Amino acid sequence: MFRFLIAAAAIALSTGHALANGHGGGEPAPPKVETPVAPAKVILTKQGPKLVDLKGMTLYYYERDTTGKSSTCNGKCTESWVPLAANAEARAVGDFTVINRDDGSKMWAYRYRPLYTSAADKTPGDANGNATTLQWRIARPEN
């Protein structure tokens, strides 16, 4: 009799599991939709909030990048100012958009301003690329 109760309980549990997985009625679970991840985040510093990439490196924008559709920093310029690269499947997320570069690659922009890291910054939090005379500025959420 005890074996019969254990067998009946095992059958009942396996039937309930099958029904829960959509094998005996009910609606199948909807497919998972991946939420796009923003390519940068805001951190607070003594100088105010600023944008950093996902590794914590300060992001900059170039004042001459005004069209929102392209970057004016190409070729040798990218040795000092590294574009924040976007992969081929990247899609806009909030205030972040994707723009095409002259070389065919893609990069991220914030409020239509292309974003770059500075080769002068060696560790997260550095802000050695803020060159106001050269029209490079730290990207801030209010920009």
pLDDT digits (tens, 9 = 90+) for 47-90: 899 999 999 999 999 999 988 889 999 999 999 999 999 999 99
Query: Higher-confidence residue: 35 or 105?
Result: 105
- 11 pLDDT higher than 50: no
Instruction: Tell me, yes or no, whether 31 lies in a domain.
Output: no
Instruction: Tell me, yes or no, whether 115 lies in a domain.
Output: yes
- 3 pLDDT higher than 60: no
At 22-32, the pLDDT tens digits run 455 566 666 66
* Domains of the chain: total: 1
Instruction: Tell me, yes or no, whether 34 lies in a domain.
Output: no
Q: Which residues contact 92 (CB under 8 A, 6 or more apart)?
A: 98
Residue 43 is inside which H or E element, if any? strand 40-45
Q: How far apart are CA 135 and CA 72, in angstroms?
A: 12
Instruction: Tell me, yes or no, whether 132 lies in a domain.
Output: yes
Residue numbers of the domain that contains 117 = 40-138
Instruction: Tell me, yes or no, whether 15 lies in a domain.
Output: no
Q: According to the model, what pLDDT value does residue 136 have?
A: 93
Q: According to the model, what pLDDT value does residue 81 have?
A: 95
DSSP assignment of 69-121 equals S--S--TTHHHHEEE-EE-TT---BTTEEEEE-TTS-EEEEETTEE-EEETT-
Token digits of residue 33: 């939709």
Q: According to the model, what pLDDT value does residue 99 have?
A: 95
